[in-house]
Amino acid sequence: MKIQVREVPPRSVWALQQAGIHPLLAQLYAARGVHSADELDDGLGRLLPPSSLRGALEAAKLLADVMAAGKKICVVADYDCDGATACAVALRGLKLLGARDVGYLVPDRVSDGYGLTPPIAERVKANGADLLVTVDNGIASMEGVARARALGMQVLVTDHHLPALKDGQVVLPEADVIVNPNQPDCTFESKSIAGVGVMFYVLLALRAELRARGAFDAASQPKLDALLPLVALGTVADVVKLDANNRRLVAQGLKRIRAGHLPAGLAGLFSAAGRQASAATTFDFAFALGPRINAAGRLSDMTLGIECLLTDDAARGEELAKTLDGINRERRDIEAGMREQAQLAADAMIDEDEEPPPAIAIFDPEFHEGVVGIVASRVKDKLHRPTFVFAASQAPGKEHELKGSGRSIPGFHLRDALDLVTKRHPGVLLRFGGHAMAAGCTIAEENFELFEQALQQVAHEWLDAATLTRRMDTDGPLAPEYRRADLVDTLHKEVWGQGFAAPTFSEVVEVVSQRLVGEKHLALKLKHQGQPVDGIWFGHTEALPARVKLAFRLDADEWQGVKRVRFLVEGAEI
Number of domains in the chain: 3
**What is the spatial distance between Cα 103 and Cα 535, in angstroms, rounded to a whole number?**
50
Give the percent of the chain with pLDDT over 90: 87
Give the length of the chain. 574
What residues make up the domain containing 479?
471-573
Same domain, 496 and 422: no
What CATH number does residue 80 fall under? 3.90.1640.30
pLDDT for res 355: 83
pLDDT for res 396: 84
Question: Span 312-321, mean pLDDT?
Answer: 98
Mean pLDDT of the chain: 95
Q: Is the pLDDT of residue 107 over 70?
A: yes
Q: Among 184, 121, 190, 133, which Cα is nearest to 159's? A: 133
* 158 in any annotated domain: yes
* 232 in any annotated domain: no
pLDDT for res 241: 93
Amino acid making up residue 287: F
pLDDT per residue as tens digits for the range 286-302: 999 999 999 999 898 99
**What is the spatial distance between Cα 170 and Cα 306, in angstroms, rounded to a whole number?**
32
Helices (H), 369-471: 372-383, 414-424, 448-462, 465-468
Query: Do residues 399 and 377 lie in contact, with contact meaning Cβ atoms separated by under 8 Å?
Result: no
pLDDT for res 349: 75
Q: Among 283, 289, 299, which Cα is nearest to 88's? A: 289
* 267 in any annotated domain: no
pLDDT for res 260: 98
pLDDT for res 166: 83
**What is the spatial distance between Cα 91 and Cα 74, in angstroms, rounded to a whole number?**
9
DSSP character for 302? T
Same domain, 569 and 457: no
**What is the spatial distance between Cα 278 and Cα 270, in angstroms, rounded to a whole number?**
10
Q: Is the pLDDT of residue 485 over 70?
A: yes
**What is the spatial distance between Cα 22 and Cα 353, in angstroms, rounded to a whole number?**
47
Amino acid making up residue 527: K
pLDDT per residue as tens digits for the range 252-310: 999 999 999 999 999 999 999 999 999 999 999 999 999 999 999 989 899 999 999 99
Same domain, 478 and 354: no
**What is the spatial distance between Cα 63 and Cα 156, in angstroms, rounded to a whole number?**
9
**What is the spatial distance between Cα 372 and Cα 392, in angstroms, rounded to a whole number?**
10
Assign 167 a pLDDT band (cuts: 50, 70, 90): confident
pLDDT for res 108: 85
Q: Strand, helix or coil at 103?
A: strand
What CATH number does residue 554 fall under? 2.40.50.460
* 138 in any annotated domain: yes
Q: How many CA atoms lie within 13 A of 149 on its CB side?
A: 13
Question: Span 198-224, mean pLDDT?
Answer: 97
pLDDT for res 191: 96
pLDDT for res 481: 95
Amino acid making up residue 90: A
pLDDT for res 259: 98
* 309 in any annotated domain: no
Ramachandran class of 354: left when φ > 0, alpha when ψ lies in -120 to 50, beta otherwise: beta
pLDDT for res 354: 75
pLDDT for res 351: 64
* 438 in any annotated domain: yes
Give the percent of the chain with pLDDT over 70: 99
Helices (H), 74-141: 81-96, 118-126
Those residues whose C-beta lies under 8 Å from the C-beta of residue 561, and which sit 6 or more positions away, are none
pLDDT for res 352: 59
Question: Span 177-184, mean pLDDT?
Answer: 97
Using alpha carbons, list the distances in angstroms from residue 204 to 208, 323, 387, 474: 6, 33, 39, 38
Task: Among 465, 482, 498, give the residue marking a domain's end.
Answer: 465
Question: Span 416-432, mean pLDDT?
Answer: 94
**What is the spatial distance between Cα 135 and Cα 126, in angstroms, rounded to a whole number?**
20
* 238 in any annotated domain: no
pLDDT for res 291: 96
368: which strand partners?
A: none
pLDDT for res 110: 78
Assign 36 a pLDDT band (cuts: 50, 70, 90): very high
Query: Do residues 31 and 119 lie in contact, with contact meaning Cβ atoms separated by under 8 Å?
Result: no
What CATH number does residue 425 fall under? 3.10.310.30
Measured between alpha carbons, how far apart are the two ends of the chain, in Å? 8
Same domain, 95 and 204: yes
Those residues whose C-beta lies under 8 Å from the C-beta of residue 518, and which sit 6 or more positions away, are none
Query: Do residues 243 and 192 lie in contact, with contact meaning Cβ atoms separated by under 8 Å?
Result: yes
Question: Span 525-552, mean pLDDT?
Answer: 96
Q: Is the pLDDT of residue 519 over 70?
A: yes
Beta strand extents in 137-280 (DSSP E only)? 154-158, 164-166, 169-171, 177-179
Same domain, 357 and 444: yes
Q: Among 196, 172, 166, 194, which Cα is nearest to 185's? A: 172
Same domain, 117 and 173: yes
pLDDT per residue as tens digits for the range 42-84: 999 999 999 999 999 999 999 999 999 999 999 999 999 999 9
Single pTM value for the model = 0.93
**What is the spatial distance between Cα 137 and Cα 521, in angstroms, rounded to a whole number?**
39
**What is the spatial distance between Cα 377 and Cα 375, in angstroms, rounded to a whole number?**
5
pLDDT for res 286: 96
Task: Among 423, 449, 465, give the residue marking a domain's end.
Answer: 465
Same domain, 421 and 477: no
Query: Do residues 355 and 362 lie in contact, with contact meaning Cβ atoms separated by under 8 Å?
Result: no
**What is the spatial distance between Cα 15 and Cα 19, in angstroms, rounded to a whole number?**
6
Same domain, 478 and 564: yes
Same domain, 124 and 191: yes
Same domain, 109 and 151: yes
Assign 353 a pLDDT band (cuts: 50, 70, 90): low
pLDDT per residue as tens digits for the range 363-385: 999 999 989 999 999 899 889 99
* 106 in any annotated domain: yes
Q: Is the pLDDT of residue 545 over 90?
A: yes
* Edge-first strand listing for the sheet containing 131-135: 102-105, 73-76, 131-135, 154-158, 177-179
Beta strand extents in 13-121 (DSSP E only)? 73-76, 102-105
